[in-house]
Chain A
């Protein structure tokens, strides 16, 4: 059996959770084995996961907070052992990362984290991940055909594979009281976490001062993007730290990355060069970012961005 653990956020299945399910369904199909999903809390949409290849959904209604990896590991590993799961798939989120390593130890099987693709070669499942800051890929396999797989967000686009309902049942597992006491959780409201964002608009020191970010936020709003920034801009306090992408910040791989007034230093590229499409706006024709881009506009951002926003607004109003 293949087991997939998915995170539920405010009653909704997270996008990264749906991606994990679809990835697990690929493994299940290659192995001709059933797929079971495990969740911590109920949600109306659980039966609908049948459409994505899940046969059974197990709901663990115990009071477990996903951020305590010790408890979550106890839960997932017991469910995995009971159901003889060979492959366990989770999202490579902060929760996924902190429990995946534990599962590998507890269940004594290899972990491949940050996986973005699966292939089959000579009857073996091979998992690809990006390494060396996106400068290479590594392919791994498990010698004993059992593994923990942590899927990198935005690696696959979830799509329905069938039309049937999954059976939803609850599961009782005894876990120890948590040793970690949660005092406070503060989520930036309404925004998609950068690591999961499909579209990202990012700006750097070329913006000159923080007061100029209005046009960046406007562009992001117009195309439904999250905002990001280069490191110096976060360091000097023009933008919040959680927007900083790159080697020392967040690594992202959106479908579209628009970089405005960012030079494209290697440490910045390290966090963004897995983006599917990159558009660069920079006034310096020699800016290294152009080499990593799909499309480039060499010009003054203070002219280009407002013009672009205006054009998008016009497009939208004539197409609505």
Chain B
């Protein structure tokens, strides 16, 4: 069984975010970049678990520049077999999905896995787009997956509950918490990763109709107003007049 895991690189959440002078690009110096947690902890590890069970190959793919090679090596150290980097800086999820699906169409994957979202843009956009380009079913926010022959049984999170469904391979899924248990790369994994292939694929820039106008930092909070610990009247007033919940 062959698996493709789409991996992205994001600033660590504890990062202080600032932008270049034109307000259109994140200032990257001084930031720590990580493998997007949903891709690493859940999508990648689930693919590796399935490979361990059924045999086959786990490929990881990233669309972006060479800065991502550190996190790609980490994916190899965790247990992916081969890595592919589409060498272009995408401006939209649409482009990311187009490059990924063009690549995937040249291979025969049984399952394509993505993270539920990137923690920088919180878009949750790419999975559905890959599925549409490939004309495959898409199941988002999976937190449980069992495969039996060509049939997959999946549990997923929806607003206010859960849903279980059945679908035949191949399909596209996005991974949420619960799908797998995080794995920490060990020394052997890290050594092996150095010998695993990391192919760089040159492509033409597609461009998109989406235009980023600017980034903006939010206004600083005016500061907390502390209330005396026994001043319930003040709290009641806030709940009644400001929040209007009572």
Cβ of B149 within 8 Å of any chain A Cβ, yes or no, is: no
- Contact (A182, B216) CB under 8 Å given A113-B125, A141-B211, A307-B230: no
Least distance between B51 CB and chain A CB atoms (Å): 24
CB contact list, B1-35 vs A, under 8 A: 11, 13-15, 17, 19, 26
Judge whether A102 and B132 touch: CB under 8 Å: yes
Cβ of B214 within 8 Å of any chain A Cβ, yes or no, is: yes
Judge whether A113 and B245 touch: CB under 8 Å: no
- Contact (A223, B246) CB under 8 Å given A98-B138, A110-B208, A132-B17: yes
Least distance between A106 CB and chain B CB atoms (Å): 6
Cβ of A169 within 8 Å of any chain B Cβ, yes or no, is: no
Judge whether A139 and B208 touch: CB under 8 Å: no
Q: What's the A-B contact tally at a CB cutoff of 8 Å? A: 252
- Of A50-58, A159-167, A193-201, A204-212, the one with at least 4 CB within 8 A of chain B: A193-201
Judge whether A105 and B133 touch: CB under 8 Å: yes
Give bound CA distance, A121 to B213, whole Å: 10
Cβ of A33 within 8 Å of any chain B Cβ, yes or no, is: no
- Contact (A97, B124) CB under 8 Å given A223-B245, A256-B245: yes
Cβ of A24 within 8 Å of any chain B Cβ, yes or no, is: no
Give bound CA distance, A179 to B139, whole Å: 11
Cβ of B217 within 8 Å of any chain A Cβ, yes or no, is: yes
Least distance between A191 CB and chain B CB atoms (Å): 6
Cβ of B188 within 8 Å of any chain A Cβ, yes or no, is: no
Cβ of B178 within 8 Å of any chain A Cβ, yes or no, is: yes
Judge whether A294 and B225 touch: CB under 8 Å: yes
Judge whether A94 and B213 touch: CB under 8 Å: no
Least distance between B207 CB and chain A CB atoms (Å): 9
Number of interface residues of B (CB under 8 A): 77
Judge whether A316 and B131 touch: CB under 8 Å: no
Give bound CA distance, A280 to B226, whole Å: 9
CB contact list, A22-46 vs B, under 8 A: none
CB contact list, B164-190 vs A, under 8 A: 164-168, 171, 177-178
Set of chain B residues within 8 Å of A307, measured between Cβ atoms: 230, 232
A290 and chain B: residue at smallest CB distance = B224
0/1 string, B77-96, CB within 8 A of A gives 1: 00000000000000011100
- Contact (A297, B239) CB under 8 Å given A136-B215, A139-B213: no
Cβ of B148 within 8 Å of any chain A Cβ, yes or no, is: no
A148 and chain B: residue at smallest CB distance = B125
Set of chain A residues within 8 Å of B177, measured between Cβ atoms: 241, 248-249
CB contact list, A266-320 vs B, under 8 A: 266-267, 270, 277, 279-280, 290-299, 303-304, 307-308, 310-312, 315-316
Judge whether A97 and B140 touch: CB under 8 Å: yes
Judge whether B213 and A141 touch: CB under 8 Å: yes
Cβ of A48 within 8 Å of any chain B Cβ, yes or no, is: no
Judge whether A101 and B17 touch: CB under 8 Å: no
Judge whether A101 and B127 touch: CB under 8 Å: yes
Judge whether A297 and B162 touch: CB under 8 Å: no
Give bound CA distance, A101 to B130, whole Å: 8
Set of chain A residues within 8 Å of B19, measured between Cβ atoms: 136
Least distance between B14 CB and chain A CB atoms (Å): 5
Judge whether B224 and A293 touch: CB under 8 Å: yes
Give bound CA distance, A111 to B229, whole Å: 47
User: Which of A73, A109, A195 is B132 in contact with, Cβ under 8 Å?
Assistant: A73
Judge whether B164 and A140 touch: CB under 8 Å: no
Least distance between A218 CB and chain B CB atoms (Å): 13
- Contact (A132, B120) CB under 8 Å given A184-B163, A186-B162: yes
Least distance between A283 CB and chain B CB atoms (Å): 9
Cβ of A261 within 8 Å of any chain B Cβ, yes or no, is: no
Judge whether A102 and B129 touch: CB under 8 Å: yes
- Contact (A137, B213) CB under 8 Å given A180-B137, A196-B159, A256-B243: no
Cβ of B202 within 8 Å of any chain A Cβ, yes or no, is: no
A295 and chain B: residue at smallest CB distance = B225
Cβ of A82 within 8 Å of any chain B Cβ, yes or no, is: no
Give bound CA distance, A54 to B217, whole Å: 35
Judge whether B120 and A102 touch: CB under 8 Å: no
User: Which of A134, A291, A296 is B225 in contact with, Cβ under 8 Å?
Assistant: A296
Set of chain A residues within 8 Å of B15, measured between Cβ atoms: 132
Judge whether A104 and B94 touch: CB under 8 Å: yes
Least distance between A273 CB and chain B CB atoms (Å): 9
Cβ of B70 within 8 Å of any chain A Cβ, yes or no, is: no
Set of chain A residues within 8 Å of B162, measured between Cβ atoms: 185-186
Of the candidates A298, A308, A312, the one having the most CB atoms from chain B within 10 angstroms of its own CB is: A312
Q: Which 10 A-B pairs have the closest CB atoms?
A: A101-B128, A193-B160, A299-B229, A193-B159, A110-B210, A187-B161, A311-B232, A105-B132, A102-B132, A139-B213
**Listed A/B pairs (19) with beta-carbon separation below 8 Å:** A94-B158, A99-B128, A101-B93, A113-B124, A126-B213, A131-B121, A133-B13, A139-B213, A180-B166, A183-B153, A191-B160, A193-B159, A223-B245, A223-B246, A242-B161, A290-B226, A295-B235, A296-B226, A310-B232
Additional A-B contact list (12), CB under 8 Å, known A142-B211, A186-B161: A97-B125, A98-B138, A98-B140, A112-B210, A141-B211, A142-B209, A182-B164, A185-B164, A247-B119, A295-B238, A311-B232, A311-B235
